[in-house]
Amino acid sequence: MLLGVRGSTPAPGPDYVRYGGHTSCVGVIGTGAAVPTLLMDAGTGIRSLPGLLGSEPFRGAIMLSHLHWDHVEGLPFCRAVDRNDARVDLYVPEQDGVSARDLLARTMSPPSFPIEPEGLLGSWRFLGVPEGAASIEGFEVTAADVSHKGGRTVGYRVATATRSFAYLPDHAPSRGMTPAAWNLLEGVDLLLHDSQFVESERSLADDYGHATVEETMALAAKAGVGALVLFHHSPVRTDSQLDRILEIADSPVPVVVAKEGMRIPVDPTQLDSVRVTA
Ligand SMILES: [Zn+2]
Ligand SMILES: [Zn+2]
């Protein structure tokens, strides 16, 4: 379930209503489960999580792709993860010899923020992203470093026995892909991928380490994915512009333009059932 689909900053206002203004956060709901136990990133979209959980706390794992603000700024503002009965394993791409906890504290501690990581209520563990495939909350999760800008960034492949998706919200494939990065997305049922810019904004994409819609479509086709979700929209891309975004290029792969509140089955044959519930 897509809880936040923007990059960089939230996008409030009347031009950003239908696709939503929250920054990156995706809830992963296992087969037969009612609520997410795995979250991809913790942008402001995580604030919608209590609405899914009702009176229950979140119990599960949060996989951070990287530590840029738009991927962590919702973390201390979500009641479902910040309560005494919550249980959260937070996975952080470790770097520079600094622990996961201390990396988070660089953003989340005074004077930048009122509390330190230990100020979050509930049972928290601050963990490094696992090397290779790991079993997390019943999913097989694989992380690999991907090209972006400013600090270490990883992408994820999340699989069950029968289905798989890849999550690369911030990715500049034009800077090159390692075999490990390529393996994340090759042949997945669903690819959620950076589509912050379009080719006419190529210099911005290069400056900020992001992808364009056109190159993301080409990448998805080359990787043989089942379906593509255009994700991490620019905060200035309006609803009417996003309505027309698929007109700029043809994709041989079925494409969904990410909208906040969308529930997307990890099954390319079921895309007709995609609906928005928020
Ligand atoms: Zn981002
Ligand atoms: Zn970023």
Closest to 7 in 3D by CA, of 17, 15, 20? 20
Tell me, in angstroms, the distance from the centre of ligand 1 to residue 32's CA: 31
Give the ligand with the smallest distance to the CA of 71.
Answer: 1
pLDDT digits (tens, 9 = 90+) for 53-78: 999 999 999 999 999 999 999 999 99
- Residues with Cβ within 8 Å of residue 108, at least 6 apart in sequence: 72, 75, 76, 115, 116, 117
Which ligand is closest in space to the CA of residue 93? 2
Q: Would you give the DSSP letter of residue 56?
A: P
Mean pLDDT of the chain: 96
Q: What is the predicted pLDDT for the residue at 278?
A: 52
**pLDDT band at 175; cut points 50, 70, 90:** very high
Looking at all shown ligands, the one closest to residue 151's CA atom is 2
Tokens representing 176 are: 């090159």
The number of C-alpha atoms within 13 Å of 59 and in the hemisphere containing its C-beta is 9
- In this prediction, residues 27-36 reach a mean pLDDT of 95
What pLDDT is attached to residue 132?
A: 87
Q: Average of pLDDT values for 117-134?
A: 96
Phi, psi (rounded to 5 degrees) for 70: -65, -5
What pTM was estimated for this model as a whole? 0.97
Residue 98: the pLDDT is 98
Cα distances (Å, whole numbers) of residue 82 to 12, 59, 118, 211: 24, 11, 11, 33
The predicted structure's pLDDT at residue 163: 97
- What's the number of CA atoms in the CB half-sphere (13 Å) around residue 106? 13
**Ligand 1 centroid to 4 CA: how many Å?**
11
Mean per-residue pLDDT, 215-225: 98
Q: What is the mean pLDDT of residues 33-58?
A: 97
- Tokens found for residue 16: 């950003």
> pLDDT per residue over 225-278, tens digit each?
999 999 999 999 999 999 999 999 899 999 999 999 999 999 988 988 887 775
Largest CA distance in the chain: 49
CA separation (Å) from 30 to 63, 120, 162, 213? 16, 26, 12, 29
Strands 154-159 and 25-28: unpaired
Query: From CA 270, how far away is CA 249, in angstroms rounded?
Result: 23
Ligand closest to CA 232: 1
Q: How far is the CA of 250 from the centre of ligand 2 (A)?
A: 27
